Structure 1
């Protein structure tokens, strides 16, 4: 089913591209960068995001083949418009040395197993916990926000070698994390990716 793009969104992307030339980026990288910038009206994401086209190509194929999508909070899930998600935060409890977000990641991992796409836009502790698990993700969109642990958890994600979308700074959040995933969901399937 083709996505109908509202004229306001079309104009927003036109203005974005008038202010920032993204034409040199590979197709999926461009889609993610532009949609994240669009979601936050923040051109600085162009230099702040860290991503690799081969990771995005594999994740795009996995998503369109039905890989589960796990989110850290319902706010991320609310922003994902074309896919059901798994969020176990309501079932999680905090304990000694364990936040609710970290426990929710454990519960979700038990539910979905390997090959999922993980979208973390709120809790650095969720991202930290994911890195301790043998999740074998198709992709980790790690864009938690905050002054405590956000930049550090994203640096740990990059150091892990997992396929990932992250950013260097402390900024991030549910809207930008959802936007990064939506970019992959909205992008058409190329003939090379079809089974």
Structure 2
């Protein structure tokens, strides 16, 4: 079923494209960049985001094949439309050397196992914890925000070699992380009939 796009959203994207040339990006990268920029009204994300089109292609296929989606906080989960998510923050407890967000990642991994798409937009400690697990993710959208640990956790994600969407700066947050996942959700799935893809 095709998503109905509201006229305000159509006009917003028209204005975005008038101010930012995204035509040089490959299709899924372009979709993620545009939706993140749109969600934050921040054109700088176009040069701040880091991702690989091949990894996005595999993640897009996994997502549309039903791979679980895990969110670090309810605000990320609330921003992801048209898809159920797993968020275990409400069940998590902090302890010595362990934040609630990190514990929530452990609980979520116990629930979903390998192959999920992880969407982290709030807590750098959630991203740090994910990197300690053998999660074999389809994709990690690692866009936590903050002055303490955010840029460092995203750098560690890029160094891990896991398939990822991240950014270099301290910017991020729930809205942009959810937007990156929504970009993959909204992007059409290629038809198995080659004539329909023309």
For Structure 1 versus Structure 2, the TM-score category normalised by the shorter chain is over 0.9
User: Aligned pair 1:76/2:38, yes or no?
Assistant: no
* C-alpha distance after superposition, 1:129-162 (max 9, x if no partner): 0000000000000000000000000000000000
Partner of 1:119: 119
- Once the two structures are TM-superposed, the CA of residue 64 in structure 1 deviates from its matched residue by 0.3
SS of residue paired to 2:181: helix
For 1:150 and 1:159, the matched residues in 2 are separated by: 14
TM-score (norm 1): 0.98
C-alpha deviation, 1:82, in angstroms: 1.0
- The answer for unaligned runs of 5 or more in structure 1 is none
For 2:182 and 2:147, the matched residues in 1 are separated by: 26
CA distance in 2, matches of 1:37, 1:121: 15
Matched residues in 2 for 1:192 and 1:139: separation? Answer: 23
Corresponding residue number in structure 2 for 1:87: 87
Separation of aligned partners in 2, 1:129 and 1:20: 35
Partner of 1:36: 36
Give the distance between the partners of 2:140 and 2:180, measured in 1 at CA: 11
Per-residue deviation, residues 18-73 of structure 1 (Å, max 9, x unmatched): 00110111000000000000000000000000000001000000000000000000
**1:6-85 pair list within 5 angstroms:** 6-85=6-85
Q: How big is the shift at 1:192?
A: 6.4
| Distance in 2, Cα, partners of 1:192 & 1:124 | 39
Describe the SS at the equivalent of 1:166.
strand
Moved over 3 A (4+): 191-194
Q: Distance in 2 between matches of 1:28 and 1:50?
A: 13
Q: Are 1:157 and 2:157 counterparts?
A: yes
Q: Which stretches in structure 2 are left out of the alignment for 5+ residues?
A: none
Which position in structure 2 is the counterpart of 1:103?
A: 103
CA distance in structure 1 between the partners assigned to 2:115 and 2:39 by the alignment: 27
RMSD (Å), alpha carbons: 1.2
